[in-house]
Structure 1
Amino acid sequence: MTAPSTTALTDDRLPVVVVGAGPVGLAAAAHLVERGLEPLVLEAGPTAGSAVREWAHVRLFSPWGEVVDPAAEKLLSPTGWVRPDAAAYPTGGDWAERYLQPLADALGDKVRYGTTVTGIARAGRDRVVDSGRDEQPFTVYVRSADGREERLTARAVIDASGTWSVPGPLGADGLPALGERAAADRIAYRVPDLGDPAVRARHAGRRTAVVGSGASAFTALALLADLAEREDGTHTVWVLRRGIGANTFGGGEADQLPARGALGLRAKAAVDAGRASAVTGFRTQAVERAGDGRLVLVAEDGRRLDPVDEVVVLTGFRPDLSFLSELRLGLDERLQAPTALAPLIDPNVHSCGTVYPHGVKELSHPERGVHLVGMKSYGRAPTFLAMTGYEQVRSVAAALAGDHEAAERVELTLPETGVCGGTGLFDEPDATRTDDGGGCCGAPATLRIGAAPGTAAGGC
């Protein structure tokens, strides 16, 4: 007896599995519903936006009008949902409670919580097998919160699981610095929630090193500067792997996302006021314990920072590709982003304001029916915008529904940013180093931008 074909089953009856119930994953589900396709959203956490809730205290630099997906809003409207003020700026907690959870609730049993995806493959085909590959549905292996394993079947897969679970390490070479794991009790990889008394106590009246140069680092610098105004002895050492340049503090007043520009200006103000000091061209190689238990960061060139009580590492995130190992993905060797997308988002060339909207064409892989979207589609590249993700999933859903004209159409205009200069003075720390900070074993170069004339070595 001839086995039944799975082609019709794959095309017509199986769900599209969406990995992750974050902003882009839920938007993908809304677009699939709008297209008459059946989504099944698998979320490892207990609620919608579980990762977003981990930075609930951080305010977005995009207003409500830019973080609500149009298809999602259509799905929410019949439920009595009230759209927040489009000009107001939500926190991560606001975003999760006032938008993501109501959207997940509107999707109902199309969202499964406590479900971790552990592997995805073609049914009966590992990544080596060619024969009949495209005709087979996808097999999705999952593990529930109680440890039970299950195998699901899908017609297509949209991976919107993000990058939150894999933060970048302290080590400048992309690997954990020597001693980084052993010092885990004093190293954090998230913007500190100073509203939490326990977290506040770790930083109040103490020295904290903040490592990183993006929006998360700016946020941490601003929050710790506010704490320094209230708690004597609080100081932040801002550790940069590059030098200070025109783009170090972001787009400022030129940024068409005003809150993002203001964030960089707040970080600059913290340094100007002396509540933070900047150490440039410092690429961490090792973490050592001082005699009092504090941490000493050691650079590749032998320079050593004065001891700090805490280290906050904000060096970006990476995609978890482990559960996709049996799929044929086309990923850029540097960014771990889809090969067609990588040149458009390369941080050596682009900021988020110079990336044009893109869709299914740039997000496709050799494995048909698989799409990495949202933050995960950017691989290791930073400066992702929610609006970009919403446009991605609109295009992908259209393609899965067979509407290729809509899939190829661009329906988004991104705000521009004043940051268009790539990575800055990555290899020119001397351009902003004080005269006494030169030797390989000497004191690190420390800047106070905007200090009295003659006390700083470089402008910004």
Structure 2
Amino acid sequence: MVTLLDLTPRTVASDRLSTLPVVVIGAGPIGLAAAANLAERGIDVMILEAGERVAASVQRWGHTRLFSPWRHLVDPASRRLLEASGWAMPTEGRAPTGQEFVDDYLVPLAELPEIGSRIRFASRVIAVSREGMDRTRTAGRAQAPFLLRIQRADGQVEEQTARAVIDASGTYSTPNPLASSGLIPLGFDGVADRVLHALPDVLGADRERFAGRHTVVVGAGHSAANTLIALGKLVRDEPGTQATWVIRNPSAIRVSSSPDDELPDRAKLGTRTDRLVASGAVAVVDSFEISGLEPSGDGIRIVGTRRGEPGMVEADLVVNATGFRPDLDMLREIRLELDDIVEAPKRLAPLIDPNVHSCGTVEPHGFRELTHPEPGFFVVGMKSYGRAPTFLLATGYEQVRSVTAWLDGDLPSAAQVALTLPATGVCSTGDATGSSCCS
């Protein structure tokens, strides 16, 4: 049986509901773009950011350069607000690093009075529900305010009500586990201090930790490739440094070079990785299925199977570059309609299937594809893609433009979705923001 959803913007039935803000979860590029679109429409907004600064997740991989040039990285509504304050776009054809992206765009955007005054930092959303009702209660649901439970940096917990919620919290803080089963590997707690998040700053802040040591990089995406390229330089410059690449498939197709790659910079990344492997600077262990981790002196032992036989790899450190997944625990009381495989909104999932699409071939989409059975609740940005690694910043900007138009009752604008970008040159270095190829 197919259930048809009413996608018509609803007139607010409650005077109280109309006085509440739209709450945006996350002050990264998509969350700030949502806030800019809401501000342009005169809709009250509150932005809740778990970190203590703007785009805290982006700043963790700020040393990494994006594939995309500036002209593809700035949200149109945000640009209008910024230029009205005297801001000028950086050199449009140049691709910035993550930190430059933050410093030269996101920080100035967050400092605008209409945006900055609405951000609450160190405010982690730990649950979203409806005031006075769990997910099983239907009567009066659409008229009940959303209720967000927030944990502050000092551990205090408070609640905030909202007329609508836009979840732009991303996926960078929730990496896929190392085990091939999708579960946390057996023994992980005993060696957690030797397992690092994707895209460490190998040649900068983290150099001393990697120099002269053996690092295993697990994962077949572009964040793995970036880390391996940095380790390759360290192998050359720092005696005793070793790098091993562990993948569970026979080859890392996603980072292999190809002359007809739709993204030239992505092809260069694959070429550089191929050369490191060919030169012996990076050893490859393919077809390895990880099941557990064990301490090995001051290092770590990865145990599993390779082509059906027991196997193990020993190292000093492991970098987990296996991709990311959405945090759905915080949404247990929200009525979601998710695809069974990629955990994206069901109407969006066919458009972003990584077996069919790359970031350059995903069609523009908006509120219709992002709608859940919970009226007024939307997941946007990288989190809306679930486990699919094909997200594009420009696509996320169009998502929030459409969603905010719908919240404003402007159905014609909300329904008219389009991207004017070419199919090439618009992706970042990769898993950096929760994606294997795009920012």
| TM-score, normalization by structure 2 | 0.88
- The answer (yes or no) to whether the contact 2:190–2:295 under 8 Å persists in 1 is no
Q: Does 2:191 align with 1:183?
A: yes
Q: Does 2:146 align with 1:141?
A: no
What secondary structure sits across from 2:330 in the alignment? helix
Residues 325-370 of structure 1 show CA distances to partners (whole Å, capped at 9, x for unaligned) of 1111111122111111112222233222232111111100000100
Shift of 1:183: 1.2
Alignment partner for residue 367 of structure 1, among 351, 362, 374? Answer: 374
Alignment partner for residue 294 of structure 1, among 295, 299, 306? Answer: 299
AA at the equivalent of 2:130: R
Shift of 1:88: 1.2
Question: Which ranges of structure 1 fall in alignment gaps of 5 or more residues?
Answer: 419-460
In structure 2, the CA distance between the partners of 1:289 and 1:126, relative to structure 1 (3 Å rule), is closer
For 1:227, the equivalent position in structure 2 comes to 234
AA at the equivalent of 1:337: A
2: CA distance, partners of 1:386 / 1:163: 14
2: CA distance, partners of 1:335 / 1:201: 37
AA at the equivalent of 2:178: L
Question: Which ranges of structure 2 fall in alignment gaps of 5 or more residues?
Answer: 1-10, 426-439
2: CA distance, partners of 1:256 / 1:14: 45
Give the 4+ runs in structure 1 shifted more than 4 A: 250-253
Shift of 1:11: 6.0
Higher radius of gyration, 1 or 2: 1
| TM-score, normalization by structure 1 | 0.85
What secondary structure sits across from 1:371 in the alignment? strand
What secondary structure sits across from 1:182 in the alignment? helix
- The answer (yes or no) to whether the contact 1:347–1:381 under 8 Å persists in 2 is yes
Alignment partner for residue 316 of structure 1, among 296, 310, 323? Answer: 323
Q: Does 2:212 align with 1:205?
A: yes
Q: Does 2:99 align with 1:98?
A: no
- The answer (yes or no) to whether the contact 1:238–1:277 under 8 Å persists in 2 is yes
- Matched length: 411
- The answer (yes or no) to whether the contact 1:284–1:298 under 8 Å persists in 2 is yes
2: CA distance, partners of 1:163 / 1:46: 17
1: CA distance, partners of 2:283 / 2:65: 24
Larger displacement relative to structure 2 (87-96 or 142-151) = 142-151
In structure 2, the CA distance between the partners of 1:86 and 1:368, relative to structure 1 (3 Å rule), is same
Report the aligned-residue RMSD. 2.0
In structure 2, the CA distance between the partners of 1:295 and 1:22, relative to structure 1 (3 Å rule), is same
Structure 2 matches for 1:383-402, cutoff 5 A?
A: 383-402=390-409
- The answer (yes or no) to whether the contact 2:277–2:283 under 8 Å persists in 1 is yes
1: CA distance, partners of 2:149 / 2:362: 34
What secondary structure sits across from 1:150 in the alignment? strand
For 1:449, the equivalent position in structure 2 comes to none
- The answer (yes or no) to whether the contact 1:48–1:100 under 8 Å persists in 2 is yes
- The answer (yes or no) to whether the contact 1:253–1:262 under 8 Å persists in 2 is no
Alignment partner for residue 131 of structure 2, among 107, 123, 129? Answer: 123
Shift of 1:6: 7.2
AA at the equivalent of 1:255: D
Shift of 1:252: 4.2
Shift of 1:171: 0.4
Shift of 1:259: 2.4
Larger displacement relative to structure 2 (65-74 or 261-270) = 261-270
2: CA distance, partners of 1:164 / 1:44: 12
